């Protein structure tokens, strides 16, 4: 579970450490108070894009830090070990900083990591269910993943997907090998010519950029000397003119005389002494700089010739030297592959036959398992929907095995899966996107998460205002479901509904305040009377009254 979240200099949050607990953690607050910042912070420690726009005004760096308890997440401890991160204390500490100059850093248990590694490590750690995420429920890929997660079929599904990728790779290889000998040799001759042309050029990484920079320097030799000499003249003076140094010396002399008459001017004289010393140092450095500049027309001609060669190669092999070297590496691998093609076709076809036989067995078995799982999954979700005031709805999953193995997808596998719903008795079931409203999709998403939570495996469920647009008894049932989900995994829920908030084991309130000319957001835990006041605020009305507090107390008692 997520134990703590530290946020520093993110948007309107100055510095805040939020403590979470097991069970249902509810986060409430006025619209615009800053609840979305908490979601953004959690998303950042899961590997989402970090924009400098998030950095608090007037600050150079923002920090987000999350601490997860892994005592009941053995799979995550194994994953950390796989990636080479320590996990001896059964904790996962993710720390991420973003700086205005782009120097962003990610640390996993104290070790540096990349965004890509963070995304892989944190996958499945937090299940984010946002008010917009329900649209993903309409996608076939999402539906397949949910069925596999419910049925514990994820590893089998991955085996099938790996075999499909292997089959497609072997087919592509066999097609390549089927090219005629003459065609292969023609291609090999041309590739060898390209390799020779690139090798003859003796390209070095970053050479084009270095040459361009050197060319600009060589072309600007006279101008640089003139500019430096003009600067020296301004400092030292000319035939009949005083330079900056002369003026400073005069000013220094005047201030020294003044300091002898008034000790208050001593600091001014000393400051002018320092300024004069600085100018003298600059004058010396400029002199040294002028002496270091050399006129070298032959080198300029050499650089221009080399750039012309690179420009000629650029038309054929890439926009930069880096791309050309990458092209060379690719050509060498392709040439080597063509040279070794003789005798490989029969071996590849044999491997392809083995993979197809294995894949067919894996795919058919997975389809059979999915059909069994889909029936139980459908019944379970339908039962949950009835509790969520969709009593006439019946959820079902249509699974159509794809007969042709060539049509099997490395995203979907061997099946076409479609979530369908019958919203009114006597009507035919239809795909979710054809019949379900936004509110119905939100309830279906909650019902599905409720059913899946019984299977375990997810550390944290994050619900971001999925109850938007609901109210009354339905909202109360949503609260009950969220509390039920929290029995199998920690739940973080951002909500505007008092009915949902009344079920919280741990209630946090987000408040925005203005101090001086700065706005800041604070997150505080509310208990006892403070919680009643927050529930009363959520119930509505311009101010808290005895009646609203009584209503809040009744709502809390009903939730208990």
The mean pLDDT of 50-69, rounded to a whole number, is 90
With contact defined as beta carbons under 8 Å apart, do 468 and 437 qualify? no
Is 334 within the bounds of a domain? no
The total number of structural domains in the chain stands at 2
Statement to judge: residues 118 and 213 lie in one domain: no
What confidence score (pLDDT) does residue 241 get? 65
241-250 average pLDDT score: 80
Tell whether 236 is covered by a domain.
Answer: yes
- Residue 6: pLDDT above 60? yes
- pLDDT tier, 239 (very low <50, low <70, confident <90, very high otherwise): low
d(CA 439, CA 30): 21
CA separation for the pair 63, 93 (Å, rounded): 13
- Domain assignment present for residue 75? The answer is yes
**Mean pLDDT within 211-236:** 80
Average pLDDT over residues 480-488: 86
Q: Give the residue-averaged pLDDT of 506-526.
A: 87
- Write down the pLDDT at residue 177: 75
Q: What is the pLDDT of residues 423-469, one digit of tens each?
A: 777 777 888 777 656 667 777 888 888 888 777 667 788 888 776 66
**Shared-domain flag, residues 121 and 1:** yes
At residue 234, the pLDDT reads 83
Most confident of 106-110, 296-300, 413-417: 106-110
- The pLDDT of 48-59, averaged and rounded, is 87
**pLDDT tens digits, residue range 125-169?**
888 877 555 566 777 888 888 888 888 888 888 899 899 999 999
Q: Which of 290, 315, 340 is the last residue of a domain?
A: 315
Distance in angstroms (rounded) separating the CA atoms of residues 127 and 212 = 50
CA–CA dist 460, 39 (Å, integer) = 13
Residue 438's pLDDT is 62
pLDDT of residue 542: 67
388: in domain: no
User: Is 177 part of any domain?
Assistant: no
The lowest-confidence range among 74-88, 217-231, 269-283 is: 217-231
At residue 526, the pLDDT reads 92
Percent of the chain scored above 90 by pLDDT? 22
Domain with residue 23: its CATH number is: 3.40.50.300
**Within-domain flag for 333:** no
pLDDT score of 182 more than 70: no
Question: What does the pLDDT look like over 315-367, one tens digit per residue?
Answer: 888 888 889 899 999 999 988 887 776 667 788 889 999 999 999 999 889 99
Residue 256: domain span: 207-315
Task: Say yes or no: 223 and 117 in one domain.
Answer: no
pLDDT at residue 478, as a whole number: 86
Q: What is the pLDDT of residue 256?
A: 86
Q: Which residues contact 24 (CB under 8 A, 6 or more apart)?
A: 482, 483, 485, 486, 491, 493, 503, 504, 505, 506
pLDDT of residue 439: 66
The whole-number pLDDT of residue 272 equals: 86
Evaluate if residue 96 carries a pLDDT over 60.
yes
> In this structure, is residue 534 part of a structural domain?
no
Beta-carbon contacts of residue 179 (< 8 Å; ≥ 6 apart): 187
The reply to whether 109 and 220 lie within a common domain is: no
Residue of 207, 225, 217, 228 lying closest to 299 (CA atoms): 217
- Percent of the chain predicted with pLDDT > 70: 94
Asked if the structure places residue 411 within a domain, the reply is: no
| Residue 201 token pair | 């050029």
Task: Give residue 238's pLDDT.
Answer: 65
| Mean pLDDT, residues 32-51 taken together | 88
Domain end residue (candidates: 261, 296, 315): 315
Q: Is the pLDDT reported for residue 510 higher than 80? A: yes
């Amino acid at each position: 579970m997520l134990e703590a979240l530290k946020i520093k200099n993110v948007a309107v949050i100055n510095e805040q450490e939020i403590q979470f607990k097991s069970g249902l953690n509810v986060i409430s607050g006025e619209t615009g108070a800053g609840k979305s910042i908490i979601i953004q912070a959690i998303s950042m420690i899961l590997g989402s894009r970090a924009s400098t726009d998030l950095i608090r005004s007037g600050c150079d760096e923002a920090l987000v830090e999350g601490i997860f308890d892994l005592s009941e997440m053995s799979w995550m401890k194994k994953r950390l070990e796989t990636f080479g991160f320590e996990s001896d204390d059964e904790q996962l500490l993710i720390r991420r900083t973003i700086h205005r100059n782009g120097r962003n850093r990610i640390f996993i248990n104290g070790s540096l990591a990349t965004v890509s590694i963070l995304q892989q490590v944190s996958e499945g750690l937090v299940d984010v269910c946002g008010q917009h995420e329900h649209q993903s429920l309409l996608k076939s890929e999402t539906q397949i993943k949910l069925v596999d997660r419910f049925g514990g079929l994820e590893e089998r599904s991955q085996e099938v997907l790996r075999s499909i990728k292997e089959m497609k790779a072997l087919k592509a290889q066999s097609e390549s090998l089927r090219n005629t000998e003459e065609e292969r040799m023609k291609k090999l001759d041309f590739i060898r010519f390209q390799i020779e042309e690139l090798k003859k050029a003796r390209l070095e990484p970053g050479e084009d950029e270095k040459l361009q920079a050197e060319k600009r320097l060589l072309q600007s030799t006279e101008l640089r000397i003139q500019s430096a000499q003009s600067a020296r003249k301004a400092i030292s003076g000319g035939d009949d003119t005083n330079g900056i140094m002369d003026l400073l010396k005069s000013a220094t002399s005047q201030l020294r005389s003044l300091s002898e008459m008034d000790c208050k001017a001593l600091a001014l004289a000393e400051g002018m002494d320092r300024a004069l010393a600085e100018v003298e140092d600059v004058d010396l450095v400029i002199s040294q700089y002028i002496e270091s500049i050399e006129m070298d027309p032959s080198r300029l001609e050499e650089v221009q010739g080399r750039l012309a060669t690179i420009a000629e190669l650029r038309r054929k092999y890439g926009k930069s030297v880096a791309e050309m070297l990458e092209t060379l590496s690719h050509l060498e691998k392709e040439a080597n592959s063509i040279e070794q093609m003789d005798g490989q076709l029969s071996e590849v076809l044999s491997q392809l036959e083995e993979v197809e036989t294995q894949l067919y067995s894996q795919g058919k078995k997975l389809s059979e398992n999915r059909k069994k799982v889909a029936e139980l999954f459908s019944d379970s979700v339908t039962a949950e929907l009835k509790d969520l005031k969709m009593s006439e709805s019946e959820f079902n999953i249509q699974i159509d095995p794809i007969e042709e193995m060539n049509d099997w997808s490395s995203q979907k596998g061997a099946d076409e899966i479609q979530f369908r719903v019958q919203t009114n008795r006597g009507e035919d079931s239809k795909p979710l996107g054809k019949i379900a409203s936004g509110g119905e999709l939100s309830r279906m998403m909650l019902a599905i998460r409720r059913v899946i939570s019984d299977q375990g495996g997810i550390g944290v469920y994050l619900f971001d205002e999925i109850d938007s647009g609901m109210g009354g008894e339905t909202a109360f049932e949503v609260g009950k479901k969220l509390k039920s989900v929290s029995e199998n995994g920690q739940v973080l829920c951002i909500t505007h509904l008092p009915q949902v908030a009344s079920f919280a084991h741990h209630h946090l309130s987000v408040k925005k305040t203005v101090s001086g000319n700065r706005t800041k957001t604070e997150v505080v835990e509310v208990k006892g009377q403070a919680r009643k006041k927050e529930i009363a605020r959520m119930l509505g009305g311009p101010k808290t009254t005895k009646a609203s507090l009584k209503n809040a107390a009744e709502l809390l008692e009903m939730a208990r």
